Structure 1
Amino acid sequence: GPQRSGFSGLEYVQKRGYRFGTFAAFLKDIPDRKNLQVSRYSHVTKVTFSNDDN
């Protein structure tokens, strides 16, 4: 196809100049939280928040 020149702004999270993925940004430092369950390749239909400490 035809070649095009130009530029595009990209949005992503960085830390110290490196790309900072979702896992590293939000989940890496909290692996032992009792109120957090992480599942790969899941489809979420509902998220419920509660003030309970259970």
Structure 2
Amino acid sequence: MLGIAAAVLFFIAFLINAAELSTNEVLSSTNLMLLGLGLLALHVAGVGSGWAVRSRRR
């Protein structure tokens, strides 16, 4: 889920950069890309993937 959110943020940042829209400092394409990278890092680290049940079978 975090990977999808990162892809959406990357796409929005690309559109802002490609259309050369003037946005405020908070919604700049660089800030959106950094948020996307943060979400992608959390996705790769396994955050938000759910709980894994470990069975103790012998």
Q: Which has the larger strand fraction?
A: 1
Q: TM-score range by the shorter chain?
A: under 0.3
Tell me which of the two structures has the higher relative contact order, counting C-alpha pairs closer than 8 angstroms and 6 or more residues apart: 2
Return the TM-score normalized by structure 1. Answer: 0.22
Q: Which has the larger helix fraction?
A: 2
Return the TM-score normalized by structure 2. Answer: 0.22
